[in-house]
Amino acid sequence: MKNARLIRRAFEVDQYLVLRTPQVEAAIQQMITALQNEADPVIYLSGLSGSGVSTVLAETSQSINRASSKTYFTVARPEIDDGYLPSEYLLHHFGFKFATRAFQHHKKLSPEAIALGGMLAQSIILVEDYLAGVASVEQKRTHMHQWSQLAAPPISLRIVLAGPSDHIKWSWASHRPTGPTVLIEEWRFNDLFRIYLKDVSSLIYSTYKLDVELPLHAKSLFKVSQGNTARLLEYLRECVRHTILSAETGVCAKLFKLSFREIVNANAKSLRDLTDN
């Protein structure tokens, strides 16, 4: 019973050890400003995988909801058929049913998509992983042409195209935004990084009552994370999980000498011992 509680607590780390970075905060503000500025109908949101692209997109949509009367829709690409063109994504997202390939692979928007765009006038469409499923340069050209048509008068939708700048799953098309872009920066080894680590230490203490001084290990943490937020947080979560599973009161400094793989292996062993008992 005690072990079960311990295991559950260890796995809740993923849920609770989340802290927004200053880069993400800055990107959200930039995005809101860009959306308030009517000049750019298509705005790109970019950053390396794990930098917080999805967080910025989610927070932006919530901010739009709170701050203005504008309607927004978040279109999550991976949930939808990879072969769909942007106009088909929209039709599918809004519950219209059509036989696949009914609209063919044309650069021109279908009359149905134009009508739908007209009905959604002035709305903001936030597209996650906009290049997922795009397999060639020609396809990418068609996609981008359709997005720009949806953003141009008379439809005039505001469109945010978000995607990681390093690699997009199931995509062979490169992501090189050609329009106004909000870029989420990676970490640099400076005071900002140390302050963030201090905030994470406080979060660990307030949530788990575990003592840890992460800024003391800033160098090794920067090395292991390579300046990427997701890598840093995943590493720290494994460290905290290890401390919980070994029933210690503080995160041992020795842990930070281990690689990510070594900690994961150590946690797996601890977990096996606990479940065997």
Partner 1 sequence: MPNRSVTLPITEESFSSWCHRLQPRTEAQWRVIDDILNLNHDSPSRLRSRDPDFESLLAFESCIKEAFGLKKLAFFERFRADCVWLVPHTVADYACADCIAEALRQHGRIVLLKSWRYLSAPICPRHTKILTDYGTRDSSYLQFLTGPSVPLRLTITGSALGAVIKAGLKMQALMLKLEKQVVSNPHSAGRQEFSIFHARKHIMEFLLHAAQYGAGLATQFITTPRAADRAQTDVGFKLLMKVRALQANAAERTCALIMMGIITGCVSRQEIKELDTQTESNRSWWSCRWDPESLGRSCSQIYYSRDRTYSRQIRDALNTFNHKQTREFIKGMAF
Binding site for partner 1 (CB under 8 A): 71, 73, 91, 93-98, 111-112, 115-116, 119-120, 123
CB of 119 to partner 1, least distance (A): 4
Q: Write 105-114 long-range contacts (CB < 8 A, 24+).
A: 105/139, 105/142, 106/142, 107/141, 107/142, 107/145, 107/146, 108/149, 109/146, 109/149, 109/150, 112/87, 113/87, 113/88, 113/150, 114/155
CB of 135 to partner 1, least distance (A): 27
Q: Which is nearer to partner 1, 121 or 195 (CB)?
A: 121
CB of 217 to partner 1, least distance (A): 42
Q: Which is nearer to partner 1, 95 or 209 (CB)?
A: 95
Q: Which is nearer to partner 1, 70 or 272 (CB)?
A: 70
CB of 123 to partner 1, least distance (A): 6
Residue type, 22: P
In 3-state terms, what secondary structure has residue 32? helix
Give the helix/strand (H/E) hosting 183. Answer: strand 181-184
Residue type, 177: P
Q: Which is nearer to partner 1, 96 or 170 (CB)?
A: 96
- Kindly report the CA angle at 176 between 173 and 182, in degrees rounded to 5? 130
Q: β-strands 158-164, 42-47: how paired?
A: parallel
Q: Which is nearer to partner 1, 91 or 255 (CB)?
A: 91
CB of 113 to partner 1, least distance (A): 8
Task: Provide the CB-side half-sphere exposure for 3 (13 A, CA).
Answer: 8
